[in-house]
Amino acid sequence: MDILQTIEQEFHLTQTHTKNIVSLIDEGNTIPFIARYRKEMTGSCDDQVLRAIFDRLTYLRNLQKRKEEVFAAITEQGKMTAEIEVALAAAVILTEVEDIYRPFKQKRKTRASVAIAKGLQPFAQAILMQDPAFNVRKEAEKYITAEVASVEEAIAGAQDILAEMISDDANTRKKLRNFFFKHGEIVSCYAKGKAEADEAKTYGMYADYSEPVSEAKSHRILALNRGEKEEFLKVSIEVPVALAKRITAAGFLKSGGESSEIVKAAAEDSYERLIAPSVEREVRAQLFDEASEQAIKMFELNLKPLLMQPPVKDKITMGWDPGYRTGCKICVVDGTGKVLDNTVVHVTLPGAKVDAPKRILKEMIAKHKVDVISCGNGTASKESEIFISELIKEIKAETGRTVSYVIVNEAGASVYSASPLAAEEFPEFDVTTRSAVSIARRLQDPLAELIKIDPKSIGVGQYQHDMNQKRLDAALEGVLEDCVNSVGVDLNTASVSLLKFIAGLNAGVAKNIVEYRNANGKFTSRKQLLKVPKLGEKAFTQCAGFLRIDCGKNILDNTAVHPESYEKAERLLELFSYTKEDVRACRISDLRKKIIAYGEEKAAAATGLDKSTMSDIVAELMKPGRDIRDALPAPTLRSDVMGIEDLKVGMELTGTVRNVVDFGAFVDIGVHQDGLVHISEITDRYIKHPSEVLKVGQVVSVRIKEVDVKKNRIGLTMRSPRP
């Protein structure tokens, strides 16, 4: 197998770019570094494509390794043939390799192995020849021994051997797997005695359910698996059995009279007893793996825009963690996230006296000049929102001062607040107060705060706890890494939680950076990183471009320009009569126009840069310290509240996409309960998946399609109004 050629063809790359990418990965370069600083070597592949290439490279290398192991094992048994060698070379998935190896595996005790031990294998081979002149019963008499008592027992033993031989045939199993995928129906019903259980109602739609395997959607596969795992559902795959048996026998059956009848019976037994249960498990495992992979991709797709939400910068923020019995926990933080004040108010229970809490909060808001209230969307958030709306109206009427509020997704806040990290950050606060701080900071800088939480707790996935956790963790960690590095971090303020996701760093080195900063004061140059314990030249090369130093000695340290390109960047500035002071003072707004007039190819050649890198450097020089998130739509600030009972069919509203799943998207329209836009209601045109149109954090216009106040359900549509 030529792995490089396979990747080249699958990803539509040039041979040179393929070799470069694999070499860069093998040299230990990180994906963010390759994507950002080696564009000329990769053909400008982005981080997502590079991660897909890395995953595929890993799979193909594991496949090749397994082929070599199987080849060695069969050769060692002295059973390697040219046919097996060709089949191994042609195998493109691990399942095919295991099918080839199946006949040569050391087996536990089976009916066939017992028959072989009794010396019946030559008899089985003779029957398989299916010579019309072969007298089965007469030949069977030759095998009667102390262990084989009769002709019938000899024939039965030979049939068992034939059944296992047929089951072990790689080509037959491959054909039947394809048959299950093309013609199988996945069927489910309630497990025995579970129909009346209250918990079983969750799986009501699967109580009498069937669907072609080829059309089964990934979210339904995951739902069926969970229902079966929780023992509420019985799930199976049904196929036309007669046709499946014919496929099983087809590769072995000849027209040979009595011996052919035995081979046919062996094939039917092989299918029923050995192949069907095994292939069904394999098909269901593959369906689950593919559904899991789709769910992981969906999680990645949702997580990235959630992490990349634009920060609400330099705002004094009041974090509000709603609650009933224990009250609402309040925390005020300044524009940098530093805690200024905190309290607890009881305003959400029916009949609560609110005059005193209002006075306390008004004084706190006035004292710290609070700009915005960030309220979590969990328990008691509706009552909190009503109270906040009244509070800010009164502040406006009494002082003329405008205070807004935002409902923030608080998923995972409790996980963070109870973590060792939160205890280390705020040892003086209890768990609930830490949650209020986190909710405030989520508005100020979503990435810096959400990075502290296990992504599975953020609430933008589906069935995430059912899938391969190692694979899920690796995929989500890749998203965290890509987001942190694409934004970059301030070397003088970043926490260990942020720094550990920077390319080339880990938690240990990140901690060393913070300790060095605390001991020696602020970094004034990227080169100082080389003085940090355990941060060597290789790690510096990987991380330096993603770390920013505001107000440092060199303005380039506050950009994504890599230190390895400083001289070339300075050469570019000199070419067009600019200095680094012009960059600092933002006096180079016409640099790009000058380069175009001069000629991009000519400018690149004069500075020793390739065009892609030069374009990136120009963007950084024109706006040092830029935050790519600033270009995205800001969160919607509110001043009034609306409830589900206020909604009417046909009403048009603006909302924010909270989660995208296979069957649609959930949209926050400001009434506490998210509304569902089914995939069929997202657009007038046909789409295969909601992610073609929507992403988490996107602001959309929706229309109320249906409202069920009792069930707390809201149906939305984004389609054009119909007559």
At 668-694, the pLDDT tens digits run 887 767 899 999 999 999 998 998 999
pLDDT digits (tens, 9 = 90+) for 36-88: 999 999 999 999 999 999 999 999 999 999 999 999 999 999 999 999 999 99
Element (H, E) at 347: none
Query: What does the pLDDT average to over 586-595?
Result: 92
pLDDT in tens, 394-407: 999 999 999 999 88
Q: 207-249: per-residue pLDDT in tens?
A: 999 999 999 988 899 999 999 999 999 999 999 999 999 999 9
Same domain, 525 and 449: no
Q: CA nearest 479: which of 510, 443, 455?
A: 455
pLDDT in tens, 348-367: 998 889 999 999 999 999 99
Domain containing 702 — which CATH number?
2.40.50.140
Looking at the fold, whether 322 and 439 belong to one and the same domain comes out as yes
Region 601-615: mean pLDDT is 92
Q: What is the pLDDT of residue 642?
A: 63
Nearest to 613, CA basis, from 604, 626, 602, 621: 604
Task: Supply the pLDDT for residue 278.
Answer: 95
Answer with the one of 400, 427, 460 that is the final residue of a domain.
460
User: pLDDT value at position 652?
Assistant: 86
Do 605 and 663 fall within a single domain? Answer: no
> Is residue 425 one of the residues assigned to a domain?
yes
CATH number at residue 519: 1.10.150.310
In a domain, 336, yes or no: yes
Residues 523 and 650 in one domain: no
Neighbour-count burial of 385, counting CB atoms closer than 10 A to its CB (0-12 exposed, 13-18 middle, 19+ buried): buried
For residues 374-388, give the mean pLDDT: 87
Q: What is the pLDDT of residue 42?
A: 95
CATH number at residue 336: 3.30.420.140
Range with the largest mean pLDDT of 52-56, 217-221, 257-261, 494-498: 52-56
Answer yes or no: is pLDDT of 633 > 70: no
Q: What is the pLDDT of residue 168?
A: 94
Radius of gyration, alpha carbons of the chain: 33
Are 80 and 52 part of one and the same domain?
A: yes
Asked whether residue 506 carries a pLDDT value surpassing 90, the answer given is yes
304 versus 273: the higher-pLDDT residue is 273
> 682 is written with which tokens?
């997202």
Q: What is the DSSP letter of 674?
A: P
Going by the DSSP 8-state scheme, the letter that residue 419 receives in this structure is S
> What pLDDT score was predicted for residue 303?
87
Last residue of a domain, one of 81, 104, 127: 104
> Model confidence over 461-474: pLDDT tens digits?
677 777 888 888 88
Contact 662, 462 (CB under 8 A): yes
The per-residue pLDDT for 414 is 81
CATH code of the domain containing 66? 1.10.10.650
Pairing type for strands 675-678 and 713-717 reads parallel
Instruction: Quote the CA–CA distance of 723 and 370 in Å, as a whole number.
Output: 48
CA distance 600 to 618: 12
CA gap 178, 612 in Å, rounded: 45
Kindly state whether residues 685 and 607 are assigned to the same domain. Answer: no
- Chain mean position to CA 188: 28
Cα separation, 81 vs 100, whole angstroms: 12
Q: Is residue 378 part of a domain?
A: yes
Identify the H or E element spanning 646: none
Task: Assess contact for 691 and 301: CB atoms under 8 A.
Answer: yes
Both 607 and 650 in one domain: the answer is no
What are the counts of helices (DSSP H) followed by strands (DSSP E) for the chain? Answer: 31, 15
- Cβ(318)–Cβ(330) under 8 Å? yes
- Asked if the structure places residue 302 within a domain, the reply is no
Asked whether residue 587 is assigned to any structural domain, the reply reads yes
Task: Centre a 10 Å sphere on the Cβ of residue 98 and count the other Cβ atoms it contains.
Answer: 16
Please indicate, yes or no, if residue 661 is contained in any of the structural domains.
Answer: yes
Residue 466 lies in a domain: no
Q: Are residues 321 and 423 in the same domain?
A: yes
Cα–Cα distance measured from residue 32 to residue 483, given in angstroms and rounded to the nearest whole number: 9
Q: Is 648 found in the same domain as 614?
A: no
- Give residue 455's pLDDT: 82
pLDDT at 616 (0 to 100): 92
| pLDDT computed for residue 360 by the predictor | 95
Q: Among 236, 227, 219, 221, which residue's Cα sits nearest to residue 201? A: 227
Number of domains in the chain: 4
Q: Are residues 524 and 594 in the same domain?
A: yes
pLDDT tens string 142-188:
999 999 999 999 999 999 999 999 999 999 999 999 999 999 999 99
Token reading at 321? 């963690």
Q: Which residue, 460, 488, 519, sits at the end of a domain?
A: 460
Predicted local distance difference test score (pLDDT) of residue 174: 94
Q: What is the model's pLDDT at position 223?
A: 92
Show the tokens assigned to 713.
């359900």
Residue 634 scores a pLDDT above 90: no
| Residue type for position 435 | S
Q: Output DSSP code: residue 660.
A: E
Same domain, 430 and 545: no
Identify whether 565 is part of a domain.
yes
Query: Is the predicted pLDDT of residue 635 greater than 70, yes or no?
Result: no
Q: Which two tokens stand for residue 230?
A: 């929780």
CB 228 within 8 A of CB 234: yes
Residue 639 has pLDDT above 60, yes or no: no
pLDDT at 152: 94
% the chain with pLDDT above 90: 69
Which has the closest alpha carbon to 98: 204, 157, 170?
Answer: 170
Backbone φ and ψ for 582, nearest 5 degrees, come out as -65, -35
Owning domain of residue 699:
644-717
On whether both 602 and 657 belong to a single domain, the answer is no
Higher pLDDT, 236 or 202: 236
Look at residue 655 and tell me whether its pLDDT is greater than 70. yes
